[in-house]
Structure formats: C-alpha cells, structure tokens
A and B are shown apart, each in its own frame.
Chain A
Amino acid sequence: MISRVFMACRGLVAGLLVLALTIPAGAAPSGTPIRIGGTLALTGPLAPTALLHKIAGEVYIDELNKANGLLGRPVEWVLLDDQSKPDLTRSLYEKLLTVDKVDLIIGPYATSGILAAMSVAQRYNKVYIHHSFGMPHLAKYEMHFPTAAFGPEPNVTLPTTVFNALATTATPPKTVAIVTSKFPSAQFQSAGAKEVAEKRGLKVVLYLEYEAGNRDWGALAARVKDAKPDFLWVGALGLDGNQMLEAMKKLDYTPPRHFHLFPAPGPMVVAPDGNLALSSTVFEEHAPFLNNPGAARLVPLFRERATKANVPYPHVDTQVAGSFAAWQVLEAAVTATKSLDDKTLGQWIRANRVPTIIGTLRFDGPNNYGDDLFKVKQVQDGKWVVVWPKEFAAPGARLLPP
C-alpha cells in the first residue's frame, strides 16, 4: 500500500517533470533543425501497422516543435519508406547516416527491419531506440534501447501474466490449445506459452503452427473444436484471430476463453465473436494509463490525426504508445544531457529510469531490457479494457469469465 503511494508520487513527479520540460518556455524553437532519421514500412505487407507509427511520430514531432523543440532547435524527422524489406531498411539507414548525415536515428517497424538496421547503428555507434522488437535474445548491441516493454524473456513472462490473470477467475482453465502463426516473433512467444502451460500443470491438448499468410481456416477450426480446450491461445497477427473465431463459429463452436497475441485491435472489438477476447497491452485509453506522462496531450491529438487520415481504429494502444515512448526516451536523454552525442546519450539512458506514456522504463537488464510492462486486456462492450493486474485495470473492470 505504501509502496503504491510512493510509486504514484514518483510517477506524478516524473510526469510533472516531463510536462515542465515541454511547457512552452517562451520563444518557438529556432536555429538549424535537429534531424532524426528513420524508416518505416509505408508500403508492403507491414504497412498496416507501420502507418500508425508514422502518425504517432508526426504527432510527437509537431508537439515538440510547438513547444521548445529539442535544445531550443526545431526537430525534423527524416522518414523513408523501407517497403517492408529488411535489406532495403539496412541500406536506407546507411543512407540516412552517411549521405543525409542525420544527427540521430530512431528504429523502424518490426523485428526483421530493426535487426537489419541494428548492425548499421552498431557500426556507427548510434543510439538506437526502437519500439516493436519481439525477440529480445537477438538484440546484442549495447546501445540499443527497446520500448516494446516485453522484458528480456517474453516467451516466459507474457504467458505467465496471462495464466496468472486466468487463475483469478472462478474456474481457471485446465486444458490449453495453442494455434500460432509461424511468423518468427509470434511463434517464439507461443512456443514459450506451451512450456509455461505445461510447467503450471495445464494440459496442452493441441499445438498447431500455421504458415503466416494462411488462407483456409476451416481445418484449423475443426481441430480446435475437436480438442475442446478450456482456453485457446492464438499466436495471431493482424486478422488471424478474427478469422479463427469466425471459422469456429461456422462450426457452431466458440472456445470458452481465447487470447490473441498480436491482433489488429480495431477489427477485434467490432467482431461479433470478439466479445471477451483477451490480448496483451502496455497502454489503453483509460485510467490509470491516461495519467501517464504525455498521455493527456498525445492521446486526443493522435485520435484527431488518425481519424483525419482515415484510419479505421484511431485509438492509442500498444504499438502507438510504444512509439510515443521511444520518442519520449530520446527527448528525455537529449534534454537531460543537453547533448546530441550518442555515447553520452547512451550512457544516460542506461543509467536512468525514464518516465513514459507506458510507464517508467529502465534499460539495465539483460540485453538492455527492463521490466515486463505488459498487462492483460479484454474486449468488453465493444471496447478494450485492461483487466489484469488489478492496479492497472480500468475502473471497476475485471476479467470476465465466459
């Protein structure tokens, strides 16, 4: 209880600090712009989610420039399209650093691209903050800083969180079925889920891997229905989970509880069978998250921009919040050290805790990973609400049983 008050106070102070740093201090930023370079998958198969990162970055940069910029200078985001291709990502980061000669860089979208550019960052000793990396054990560069706050072992911690949440209900599941995409990060974490389940004494009645880009869900649905699990874990990307649910419904079957790993959030809340679907998140648009540093300002701005850009689900959740957090870390480091020197920035980030929109981040764990900040959320009444752990649950919300 006391520790919780203390945490709240610390958060408040930190929040005020960040707020103070960004209150307009009089004059608009002036001087030569600070150029921050990065790529995103603006076209290609990764574009659906990268679009959100683009909007998030633009919102943040605009806010920065409306205030005092960075170190009093305006900020320019040099953004290039890597077309969802890791080899293009790598060469574009080389372009940004050696031809465009940007001052700082920020990471691209998704694991493969981030890894491809990490070697470039390493070669040029640049601070490398990124927001969507799913395989922590592969990130070996000492100046990389992840804001996809999985913690160093997501394949253990994330399923543990989920099963802990489920254990609080009146009838925790005894049997588990796991159906996962073979997309590397999804498969990695789903394989972890299998081990965790078995260690906790749950019976894994089905473990299926399908190729990413699967078109036919009927057979998979039939196998799940056959296995009759208490709990279905779907290592889903995008709309995989929706298609699974629909395919099972066509067989007149709905699993009692289902969890989706990386779903597209919008379609799931409007799906007829999406009600009570579970997923994981670091941020949702309700208290206490809305009290996090920057949330009050950034959330409505993102909503406005995204709606204008015709995005179907213009809300801030894990991906967008992670993106904001990345910018926040960069801004905090530059402001605190009053420097653009990567070594200085890197040392500061490693040594300090940075308050961000997703919580306080630290980078002093294995491979620069810190705490696992993921919570469990559920679709209730057409909205995603966090249900576990209780401190982060939406007011009055709890994990609803089937």
Chain B
Amino acid sequence: MPSLTLLGQALVSGVLAGGIYGLLALGLSLSWGLLRLVNLAHFALALLGAYLTYQLGTTFHVSPWLAALAIVPVFFLLGCGLHAVFAYFRVTEFTSLLVTFGLTVILESVIQWFWTADYRRYETPYATASLRVGPLFIPTLEMLACLTAAALAFATWGWLRFTYVGKALRASAEDPAIAAAFGVNHRRQAYLLSGVSAAYAGVAGAFIALISTLAPSQIWTWVGVVFAVVIIGGLANPIGALLAGFLIGVSESLTMAVVTPAWAPLVSFSVLIVLLIVRPGRV
C-alpha cells in the first residue's frame, strides 16, 4: 500500500501535468469551438514555440519569460496568417483536419531542417527548483505552467463571457447568419481568435521547452491526450479544458503511483469512456 506522502506527491504531479495539458488544450479548444476548424497544426506551433524559446535561451541567453513575451506577438501574427489561408479557401471543419495535418508535417520538416532531428534539452538553473509544503514538494516550473494555464483559462472565460468581442465570437459560432445580421464582423473576430489561439500555443511551447524533451517528432506525443482534454472539457470552454486536463493528469499520475506505470493510459482513457457514456450532460 503506497504511503500517503507518495499518493499526495502523485496527486500534485498529476495536477501540474494536467495544467500543461490544459494550457496546450486551451488554444485548440477555442479555435475548434468558435471557428469550427480542427487545427492539428496547433501542436506544431507549440513545438515551434518551444524550439524558439530554446534557441533564444541558448544562443542569445534570453530568459524564457522574455522569450515568451517576444514569441507571443509573432505567433499572434502567424495565427492570423493561418486564418487568412483558411478564409481565402473557405476551409470547412471537414477539410480543416487534412489541411492542418499537411501544415503540421511542413512545420515538423521546417523544425527538423533548422534544428536537426537530434534531441535537445533546454537546461535552466530553476529546472529543479521546488517549493516545500509539508512533506510534499511542488516543482516551481510546473507550478508556474499550471498557474499560467489557470490564469489564461479564467481570462479567456471572462473575455468570452463579458466582453463584446467574446460574445460576438460565441454568437457567430452558434449562428453565423443571425450574428452577421446583428452587425457582428465575423471575419475580424475570426482573425483575432486565430491569433489568440496561436499565441496560446506559443506560451505552451515556452513551458514545453523548459519542462520536456525537444525533438521534431515530439509533436505527435501530445496529440492524443490533448484531443481528449479538449473534447471532455467541451469545445470553447476554457475552464472545462483546464479541469479536464487536471482530471486526466491526476488519473494518470495516481495510476502510476499505485500500479505498474505503463497502465496509466488505460485508466485515464477508461475514465474518459465511462464519463462520456454515463454522464447526463456536459461539464
């Protein structure tokens, strides 16, 4: 029987890992829910952000926080650019998967072209720092990522709920024709949203650089679990994405603490399956 400390530590670890999932899921959830476009390239963008953070940090000794700040506007523009392509070709939800898959492979190749396929690791002095709370340790970097995820999730929720732009976006997603009749400039909102979504990817990327492995094919390791988080949390539901991230992170982590860790995906995805079938409504 594992000790309480072990379980507690696993819980902490799971929540924090879930924060990263939520952070990655945030942009995807927004663009899928409000623009009705499945953007697989979100993951490639995140990894690109990670590599840029790494490069800025190792070559130019820019701290990751500054790097993130520099990356956000660039990615915002990238997101707008991406949407320009979607809008011009009138891409639908159906075809967006194929288009963004192609873009992901292109981005992966670009990353490999510049940084080679070899593993890279961004070493920072605070990588191993952690806060001590009683018998438990809370790693600082992961906690920061989690807090950022929460802050962004709440900010986004507030933005969608209380501002004109947010309401306009939600209206357009529900019924574009009527919203347009009420003067909602869907096109402008869509660009804004696409940019924000990409910016979130960049922020997630900065944390990935600090916490995880860098290799071009790493793009694909996140796809499965983040899709799960997005859908459980509900499309365009920022807080839902965060909570779903916690759910999956914790279920995986607790499993790893108690039984053979390789069983972890079974538990998290089974929980998901049961939830989907049994739950009467959405979160």
A–B contact (CB under 8 angstroms)? yes
- Assess whether A208 is in contact with B216, with CB atoms less than 8 Å apart: no
Q: What mask results when residues 261 to 304 of chain A are scored 1 for a CB within 8 Å of chain B, else 0?
A: 00010110011110000000000000000000000000000000
- Assess whether B123 is in contact with A43, with CB atoms less than 8 Å apart: no
Q: What mask results when residues 222 to 257 of chain A are scored 1 for a CB within 8 Å of chain B, else 0?
A: 110010000000000011001100110111100000
Overall SS of chain B's interface: helix
Cα(A210)–Cα(B252), bound, Å? 11
Cα(A221)–Cα(B257), bound, Å? 9
- Assess whether A51 is in contact with B117, with CB atoms less than 8 Å apart: yes
B144 to chain A, nearest CB (A): 13
Choose one: A219, A272, A310; the contact of B9 (CB below 8 Å). A219
Q: What are the residues of chain A within 8 A of B13 when measuring CB–CB?
A: 216-219, 221-222
Q: What are the residues of chain B within 8 A of A251 when measuring CB–CB?
A: 9, 130, 137
- Assess whether A47 is in contact with B117, with CB atoms less than 8 Å apart: yes
- Assess whether A222 is in contact with B257, with CB atoms less than 8 Å apart: yes
B30 to chain A, nearest CB (A): 22
- Assess whether A48 is in contact with B261, with CB atoms less than 8 Å apart: no
Total residues of chain A contacting the partner, CB 8 A: 50
- Assess whether A239 is in contact with B119, with CB atoms less than 8 Å apart: yes
Cα(A310)–Cα(B115), bound, Å? 7
B175: Cβ under 8 A from any A Cβ? no
Cα(A251)–Cα(B120), bound, Å? 24
Tell me which residues from 133 to 189 in chain B have a Cβ below 8 Å from any Cβ of chain A: 137, 139, 142
**Known A43-B112, A267-B121: A218·B213 in contact at CB below 8 Å:** no
A44: Cβ under 8 A from any B Cβ? yes
B73: Cβ under 8 A from any A Cβ? no
- Assess whether B128 is in contact with A267, with CB atoms less than 8 Å apart: no
A390: Cβ under 8 A from any B Cβ? no
- Assess whether B215 is in contact with A48, with CB atoms less than 8 Å apart: yes
B197: Cβ under 8 A from any A Cβ? no
Choose one: B3, B128, B249, B256; the contact of A210 (CB below 8 Å). B256
Q: What mask results when residues 165 to 182 of chain A are scored 1 for a CB within 8 Å of chain B, else 0?
A: 000000000000000001
Q: What are the residues of chain A within 8 A of B127 when measuring CB–CB?
A: 246, 272
Cα(A221)–Cα(B128), bound, Å? 13
Nearest residue, chain A, Cβ from B17: A216
A215: Cβ under 8 A from any B Cβ? yes
Q: What are the residues of chain B within 8 A of A209 when measuring CB–CB?
A: 260-262
Choose one: B5, B9, B120, B212; the contact of A267 (CB below 8 Å). B120
Tell me which residues from 221 to 264 in chain B have a Cβ below 8 Å from any Cβ of chain A: 221-222, 225, 249, 252-254, 256-257, 260-262, 264
Q: What are the residues of chain B within 8 A of A252 when measuring CB–CB?
A: 130, 132, 137
Cα(A52)–Cα(B119), bound, Å? 11
Cα(A347)–Cα(B117), bound, Å? 38
Q: What are the residues of chain B within 8 A of A313 when measuring CB–CB?
A: 118
A56 to chain B, nearest CB (A): 13
Question: Known contacts A47-B216, A220-B256, A223-B257; can you find 8 more A-B pairs with CB under 8 A?
Answer: A48-B119, A51-B117, A211-B262, A215-B222, A218-B253, A219-B10, A250-B130, A272-B127
Contact residues of A with B, CB < 8 Å? 42-45, 47-52, 84, 182, 208-211, 213-223, 226, 238-239, 242-243, 246-247, 249-252, 264, 266-267, 270-273, 309-313
Contact residues of B with A, CB < 8 Å? 2-3, 5-6, 9-10, 12-14, 16-17, 109, 112, 114-121, 123, 125, 127-130, 132, 137, 139, 142, 212-213, 215-217, 220-222, 225, 249, 252-254, 256-257, 260-262, 264-265
Closest 9 CB pairs of A and B: A218-B13, A47-B117, A249-B128, A219-B256, A250-B139, A222-B9, A216-B17, A267-B121, A219-B10
